[in-house]
Structure 1
Amino acid sequence: MVFLTVLPIVGIGGLGKTTLAQTVFDDEEITKHFETKIWVCVSNEFDIKLVMKVILEEKAEARSEELQKKVREKLSGKRYLIILDDVWNENVEAWNQLRSILDCGSNGAFVLTTTRKRNVAEIMGTIQHFELSSLSQDDCWLLFEECAKPKLPNFINIGKEISRKCMGVPLVTNVLGSQLRFNCDEKEWCRIRDSEIWEISQNENLILSILRLSYYDLSYHLRRCFVFCAIFPKDAEIEKVRLIQLWMAHGLIPIVKNQEVEDIGNTIWNELCRRSFFQDDKFDQSGNEICKMHDLMHDLSKSVMKDECYTLDVNNSSDGLKRDIRHLTVRVNEFVKTSVLSLKKIGGLQSLMCNGIDVEGNVTMKICLSVLKELPVLRVLELRCIEVNEDHHLTFQILFNIIFRKHHISRSYMGHLKHLRYLDISYNYLIILPDSICDLLNLQTLKLNGCFMLESLPRNTKDLISLRHLYLEDCFGLKYMPRGTRQLKHLKTLSLFVIGNKKRDCQLDELKELDIGGSLELKNLGRVSDASMERGISMAKKTSINELELEWRSDDEDESKSTRDEKIGEALEVSTVGLKKLKMIGYKGVNLPKWVNNVNTIASSSVDNEMIVLFPLLEELYIVRMKNLRELVSPSCWSIGAFPNLCMLLISDCTKLGALPPHLKSLKYVNVAGKCSDEFVRG
């Protein structure tokens, strides 16, 4: 008989239960031992259906019976490890139900769970639970010393007294040490040491009180930005760029002369990470910087925000909706009329985020059609379609046709959203966006990622005078850009620019004066007009672009275009110094543009402290359907060094391409597809 082993880790908040579990989860020997590893954040609500969906990595809705069947198929006969993090459930029947679903693995299948409650450990554990002890006074001082870095004897003595009061809780020690690290005022150190909060009983109330003390040590704008994060669910991965744009939308970032608001937001993010209000700061697989908040930090932000944040889901009914709510997340499978009526009572709603909506699309349909016009101060609206069900997408198309149809209805809906600054309608079956969306004169961020049927943007897009970020990733159907893009003076992000074939369409020279950065795809470069080149299409000043895709054409086999492609390529004058990813597709030229061979001076550990290289930061290079190309870089440039950080190279259908530059020391992954020359294959 095979029994599932369950080991609970028990301890008060802030001791490092999740950190310990994460260390186990990431261990190389553990990875080799188990066939499958799965991490599930359970948190306050023990929702078996959600746990199963995380195990299956599914977002689409499904019946519980169907999910159970899929879970058993995935885990059956396997030696797996599942981490159930932050469990609060004391319902024995609920746990028995989940265990019966999971109890299908082979000998050695293992569940590791973390909890603050010993009663939960006794319910779940099949072996003796592991109780995580607090740090010793010596270890607590070592951690505090590492965070605070006191130098003078007085500060060291005061620091030791503070560390002794930290109850051996790493989170408290870390936060207080980080708070005092750059504080050279001895009185402030004494104030922390002598605070009345230490008189509170030795429990988690004390920990929250200590964290609150550090919270009030933050500047006003840091406090506002931190507590806003209560809108995210516990253990959520928070994406930096998105968070900064949400802060911007709500006016939480102070204005500083001669500084971009995004840069100030980045400074705030870094400061909150430094002070341990954010943790696990890292980059995800897509290259986005993310972080998490510790459960206690989340509790702190919620306690400050009080009733201003609310999540409407299967565990929280519309009865909890109050007039004080300012930020609402809708995550439900059904949304009845009474809920819509309740929403209408929230006159001051500023954020409405509808993610993970139901398959039928009823939630968003009812909210939008009945509520949007009742929310005049709305600043953030997310209507992301993240399901894969075709009927769902069709429902969204009908929805947006109703909301944005070019008649009086569209004006009445959009006209009421004068304060909207952030609009995300990604992953929807949209074909067009109407001109009425251009009434949103305060709009800063517009996200249309994954709207692959979208054919055009409104002709009056130029009227969005506050627009700073326009996301069009995977908008494969977009045929052209509307004229007047140059008038979007504040634009910082433009992920896709499509050159049309009509005179009335926007040409590439309109980007010349825009200070855009990040990721940019230029599509249909073969359509750049002579007049546009005369006006100038140089990208030499766009040093903030780190990912660039240049696509000339995909189906035009006219070899006479070779010289013209070279002429357009030369005129681009791309700055390569900051590029980390470069794609070139469909270029018919024999020689690459001269800017490819432009050398860059970068810092070095050599005697003269600098060296000259080609593409100093480039990590990924894609060369596709460039059938006339003979060499990537001139052999005369090989001696000075090229691609020192290139780790991924993809070459496809480059039939005349010769050998690669030598000494690509960082190269780890090479993919050669389609027809390539014998010289290249031998090289």
Structure 2
Amino acid sequence: MADSFLFNVAESVLGKLGSLALQEFSLAWGLESDLEKIKDNLKVIKAVLLDAEQQRSQNPRIEVWLDNLKEVLYDAEDVVDEFECEALRRQVVKSGNTTRKVQRFFSRSNPLIFRFRMGHKLKQIRERVDEVAALKSKFGLTERIFDRHIIHGEREMTHSFIDASDVIGREQARDDIIETLLQSVDGENVSIIPIVGIGGIGKTTLAKLVYNDQRIATHFELKLWVCVSDVFELDKVIIKILDSASPGQRYADMGIDQLQRTLQEALNGNKYLLILDDVWSEDPRQWGELKTLLMGGAYGSKMLVTTRSQRVAEIMGTVSALNLSLLSHQDCLSLFFKWAFKGQQEKQNPNLKRIGEEIVRKCKGVPLAVITLGSLLYSVTDEREWEFIRDNEIWKLEQKKDDILPALRLSYEHLPSHLKRCFAYCSIFPKDYVMDDIELVYLWMANGLVQSSNENQELEDIGLRYFKELCSRCFFQDFSEYGGKVKCKMHDLIHDLALSVTQNECSMVRTSTQQIPKSVRHISFPHPELLPNVLPESLQNLDRVRTICCESERGEGISSEAFIKTCFSRFQYLRFLNLSYSMFEVLPTSIGNLKHLKYLDLWRSPNIQRLPNSICKLQSLQVLLLFGCWSLEELPKDMKYMINLRWLWITTKQKNLPTGGIGCLKSLRFLFITSCDNLEYLFEDMQGLKKLRRLKIDYCRSLTSLPQSIKCLTALETLCIKGCENLDLIMEEGEENQYPTQFSLQKLELEFLPKLVEFPQWLIRGSTNSLKVIKVERCNNLRELPECLQNMASLQEVQIKGCPQLNNDPIRKAGEN
């Protein structure tokens, strides 16, 4: 679509230039004119970006201009974020409860020096933006209004013809669909069957097989094939249907009313099969208008819809969608050899057959990928050429317009610009990496990709909506749910697509990597355990890196403290730092200099004994993951100053979590306390966590009670308590009403709590109209559940397992209502 990746970056920077913090600084320091000039020029540039984006492939000079613009925009974002960091630092210093010692702790530089330095940086950005704006006039670019319905690379219209002998492995799916099409459906005049799957998986091919089957020809009086493809406009779709019904007639000059009457006349009394191929529109109103017109056929008429969107399937389907499966490895081999050897594989070089099998594995069951690579090797007998194909990522190979990458890229082009950036950043993870929804949302937030125009909207909710949209469009697969989080993967070819659109921004660095473009801002190390003590030469010229991901393919993390120190000093603009599975014992104190850092992952770093108190200088930090830090003696003493923290996951050897620490984190939304074997007491000032939405306490074996103030968590939606062997959840006499319960839970999970005998009434008090999910598992001594649960109309899901002492089960009754 014409709503380009870069267009979204420009919008984001313009939004940040209007931030309150920057406005206040510019007014106080006399920088208003520079700031206004930057904004004015960016607005002018943004107006021609859509036109420039469409011309970039034909004009190399425009390509260079856009690349320069992107660099300027990112550098401008860094400067604006630096003002935001300073505003947060001053917020802490001026909070009213800080001593001179604390003020010294947070003073990074002389205010006059900071003012001079930042004023100079802003002027530099203004000069660079001026330069880019001046160059745009040389390209004859025209201003265009943002229109998300303009498509860059439209797919060519599909047709219904097919040679069935060219199709391998779809016989069972064809027969299943035909069986459904031939069945009568009670109460449905026209039933609609969606076929869903990623680009290239064979949805259209399967629809062709069905359409041309003799069983269909004898059952339906009228067969219609329509490729919807681009924009779903009612008059155009009607014309396509009429063209299929009566070829050679002219319908283009008809008005919409005449088109509707003509369509109803064409369908009247006929039992028809209509194939709507390649549907993208997710607007239920558009479909509703067309569906009304298509009800004029005879009883038993059917429609088959192919789409890449689960949302489209939900809107259009009247029966369950067929999620088209990947092709089996054996079928992929047959298909590959059919294209590469023209079906004469038995006469071929055994080495080529062996290499061919290895090539097929990288296609991961997607037929179009198999055909793409097979056709690349048609009549090629040089083993080196075959090895070249085998050893390269698909996105690095030359592609024709009908090959796999263009087919997948069409899915990317149809994304709204904000989703394009979110999808592209997923390329930072290695292939087959298991992602989860919360992790992705905070990764996007760390890079400024989740933005809200409404201050009442939580960024987490917006990010989760982005995640669900990408899921519905088949960009993620292999879903599972664990610990309240949705986990998924990207298909290898979808990962290649992400790499292809971020190749100048993201780089995977291996020991063999010789050179990295200076424009790269996101780096991952698939083998961090092999990193040297010094920064590789390929990284020496990079100083604007925002992401370092040391996500090991082997589960072995970085061990070089010297390398970490070098990274901290070199990459001052880091937003996302993944050091999971690290083997060092002490995190360098220089971590406190990474003032832009928003996401720090020390997941399963078993040797870390302490975190430097300088980490508490990271006012921008939103995520701190310390799960699996089994040797961590205690949390930093000044954690209360991490005022932007939204997700905290801890494992610590402490016996108690003191007041004046975590309880002061007013921005905290997610708090997970896991495997703290020595922990006997939680912090007493939980009432300070006014925005906490999810609290998870598991495998804290020494924990005996929860603080009374837990009942003051007004925003709490999910409470999960698991594996706490000595916790009974009962408030002591006199404590029950000290703090009235204020939270309205939606989800409650209690698992493996052997001391739990009586169900704590305070847990559900105030939640009788909100509780949707309740899970009680392996609570061997739990005797009764509250009778009030049977009146909960809000309850949607109930699980009770391994509770042999239960005398009543009102929840099960409630769940049946």
1:573 to 737, 741, 748: 741
Q: How many angstroms apart in 2 are the aligned matches of 1:297 and 1:480?
A: 44
Question: Structure 2 vs 1, CA of residues 350 and 540 (structure 1 numbering), >3 Å: closer, same or farther?
Answer: closer
Q: How many angstroms apart in 1 are the aligned matches of 2:555 and 2:426?
A: 28
2:664 aligns with: 487
Q: How many angstroms apart in 2 are the aligned matches of 1:452 and 1:174?
A: 56
Letter in 1 for 2:649: Y
2:523 aligns with: 328
SS of the aligned residue for 1:623 comes to coil
Q: How many angstroms apart in 2 are the aligned matches of 1:270 and 1:642?
A: 23
Letter in 2 for 1:446: L
Q: 1:518-544: per-residue Cα shift (whole Å, max 9, x none)?
A: 342297775667xxx5xx542463441
Q: 1:312-357: per-residue Cα shift (whole Å, max 9, x none)?
A: 34xx613143322221111225334676343333212111111227
Matched, 1:431 2:609: yes
Matched, 1:177 2:279: yes
Question: Structure 2 vs 1, CA of residues 133 and 592 (structure 1 numbering), >3 Å: closer, same or farther?
Answer: closer
Question: Structure 2 vs 1, CA of residues 254 and 595 (structure 1 numbering), >3 Å: closer, same or farther?
Answer: closer
Structure 1 residue 551: deviation in Å? 5.4
1:442 aligns with: 620
Structure 1 residue 598: deviation in Å? 7.0
Q: How many angstroms apart in 1 are the aligned matches of 2:645 and 2:569?
A: 22
2:711 aligns with: 538
SS of the aligned residue for 2:498 comes to helix
Q: How many angstroms apart in 2 are the aligned matches of 1:174 and 1:266?
A: 30
Structure 1 residue 209: deviation in Å? 3.9
SS of the aligned residue for 1:378 comes to coil
Q: How many angstroms apart in 1 are the aligned matches of 2:579 and 2:736?
A: 39
Question: Structure 2 vs 1, CA of residues 205 and 324 (structure 1 numbering), >3 Å: closer, same or farther?
Answer: farther
Structure 1 residue 384: deviation in Å? 0.8
SS of the aligned residue for 1:307 comes to coil
1:275 aligns with: 473
Question: Structure 2 vs 1, CA of residues 456 and 601 (structure 1 numbering), >3 Å: closer, same or farther?
Answer: same
Matched, 1:343 2:518: no
SS of the aligned residue for 1:376 comes to coil
Matched, 1:353 2:506: no
Structure 1 residue 16: deviation in Å? 11
Q: How many angstroms apart in 2 are the aligned matches of 1:416 and 1:567?
A: 44
Q: How many angstroms apart in 2 are the aligned matches of 1:312 and 1:339?
A: 12
Structure 1 residue 463: deviation in Å? 0.7
Letter in 1 for 2:732: R
Question: Structure 2 vs 1, CA of residues 146 and 562 (structure 1 numbering), >3 Å: closer, same or farther?
Answer: same
Q: How many angstroms apart in 2 are the aligned matches of 1:160 and 1:245?
A: 49
Matched, 1:227 2:404: no
Q: How many angstroms apart in 2 are the aligned matches of 1:22 and 1:519?
A: 47
1:260 aligns with: 458
SS of the aligned residue for 1:241 comes to helix
Higher fraction of helix? 2
Question: Structure 2 vs 1, CA of residues 345 and 648 (structure 1 numbering), >3 Å: closer, same or farther?
Answer: farther
Question: Structure 2 vs 1, CA of residues 658 and 374 (structure 1 numbering), >3 Å: closer, same or farther?
Answer: closer
Structure 1 residue 291: deviation in Å? 3.6
2:697 to 501, 521, 529: 521
Structure 1 residue 599: deviation in Å? 7.4
Matched, 1:470 2:648: yes
Q: 1:465-492: per-residue Cα shift (whole Å, max 9, x none)?
A: 11111012x5465632451434322110
Question: Structure 2 vs 1, CA of residues 353 and 640 (structure 1 numbering), >3 Å: closer, same or farther?
Answer: closer
Letter in 2 for 1:283: S
Structure 1 residue 241: deviation in Å? 1.2
Structure 1 residue 375: deviation in Å? 0.9
1:455 to 607, 625, 633: 633
Query: So what's the TM-score if we normalise by structure 1?
Result: 0.56
Q: How many angstroms apart in 2 are the aligned matches of 1:592 and 1:320?
A: 61
More displaced stretch, 564-573 vs 488-497: 564-573
Q: How many angstroms apart in 1 are the aligned matches of 2:544 and 2:694?
A: 34
SS of the aligned residue for 2:773 comes to coil
Paired residues for 1:15-34 under 5 Å: none
1:618 aligns with: 774
Matched, 1:417 2:594: yes
Q: 1:134-189: per-residue Cα shift (whole Å, max 9, x none)?
A: 65187599998899996946324448999xxxxxxxxxx9995225656959xxxx
More displaced stretch, 356-365 vs 286-295: 356-365
Structure 1 residue 286: deviation in Å? 4.5
Q: 1:9-30: per-residue Cα shift (whole Å, max 9, x none)?
A: xxxxxx999x98999xxxxxxx
Q: 1:606-652: per-residue Cα shift (whole Å, max 9, x none)?
A: xxxxxxxxx6521333436x6xx753335x87688998743342449
1:318 aligns with: 513
1:631 to 762, 773, 784: 784
Contact 1:459 1:482 in 2 (8 A): no
| Cα RMSD after superposing both structures | 5.2
SS of the aligned residue for 1:252 comes to coil
Structure 1 residue 428: deviation in Å? 1.7
Contact 2:671 2:695 in 1 (8 A): yes
Letter in 2 for 1:331: P
Q: How many angstroms apart in 2 are the aligned matches of 1:229 and 1:591?
A: 43
Letter in 1 for 2:468: N
Structure 1 residue 271: deviation in Å? 2.3
Paired residues for 1:498-517 under 5 Å: 507-517=683-693
Higher fraction of strand? 1
Question: Structure 2 vs 1, CA of residues 442 and 245 (structure 1 numbering), >3 Å: closer, same or farther?
Answer: same
SS of the aligned residue for 1:381 comes to strand
Q: How many angstroms apart in 2 are the aligned matches of 1:666 and 1:246?
A: 39
Paired residues for 1:553-592 under 5 Å: 553=726, 564=732, 567-568=735-736, 571=739, 573=741, 575=743, 577-583=745-751, 585=753, 592=760
1:136 to 201, 205, 208: 208
Can you give the 5+ residue segments of structure 2 that lack an aligned partner in the other structure? 1-165, 174-199, 213-222, 245-274, 288-397
Question: Structure 2 vs 1, CA of residues 432 and 270 (structure 1 numbering), >3 Å: closer, same or farther?
Answer: same
Q: How many angstroms apart in 1 are the aligned matches of 2:224 and 2:442?
A: 38
Letter in 2 for 1:431: Q
SS of the aligned residue for 2:524 comes to strand
Q: 1:185-208: per-residue Cα shift (whole Å, max 9, x none)?
A: 9xxxxxxxxxxxxxxx99455554
Q: How many angstroms apart in 2 are the aligned matches of 1:174 and 1:592?
A: 55
Length, aligned pairs only: 473
SS of the aligned residue for 1:289 comes to strand
